[in-house]
Amino acid sequence: MERVPITVTVNGRRISAVVEPRMTLADFLREELGLTGTKLGCEHGVCGSCTVLWDGAAVRSCLVLAAQADGANITTIEGLATDGTLHPVQQAFWEAHALQCGFCTPGMVLTAVALLAENPNPSEEEIREALSGNLCRCTGYQNIVRAVQLAARHERAGT
């Protein structure tokens, strides 16, 4: 298999690499870049654990190839906090006890970030709808929904 050259921006850093055509974006991030915060829960696009932001939109990195990401701007969970300060969504997840084992958390947080960027004032129903592509087996979702509501309030208040 002929390897493919790509240039991709990950968490603000421009990276040039040569990848196997069949390597998924998730494996590229995890294995090649060491960004293991992106999780693999099903590898068939259902659980949402591998969610990353692709030009700001939530995307399942297990379903796209690294080669397709040429030119893209990717944000992973490692790129969210700035200078050691948690992103408002991360902070809200902490305050609302929206995580237990933590495995789904990176995907949940990034999905919530994408939602709030598009809709800063979502209803509970809209939040549940937006999160419905991400599975969590620990929390029962209620505290995750509350965390997103809390983050939305904080972001609107500019805190």
Binding site for another protein (CB under 8 A): 20, 22-23, 30, 34-44, 46-47, 49, 76-78, 80-81, 86, 90, 93-95, 97, 99-106, 109, 127-129, 131-145
Task: Report residue 54 as tokens.
Answer: 């692709």
Q: How far is the CB of 136 from another protein (least distance, A)?
A: 7
Q: How far is the CB of 5 from another protein (least distance, A)?
A: 19
Pick 73 or 141: Cβ nearer another protein: 141
Pick 71 or 140: Cβ nearer another protein: 140
Burial class (CB in 10 A: 0-12, 13-18, 19+), 16: exposed
* Helical (H) or strand (E) element with 115: helix 105-118
Q: What is the DSSP letter of 30?
A: I
Pick 57 or 94: Cβ nearer another protein: 94
Q: With contact defined as beta carbons under 8 Å apart, do 90 and 145 qualify? A: no
Q: How far is the CB of 157 from another protein (least distance, A)?
A: 20
Pick 3 or 22: Cβ nearer another protein: 22
Q: Which phi and psi angles does 20 have, rounded to 5°?
A: -70, 140
Find where tokens 């969210």 sit: 80
Q: How far is the CB of 2 from another protein (least distance, A)?
A: 16
Alpha-carbon span 159 to 154, nearest angstrom: 5
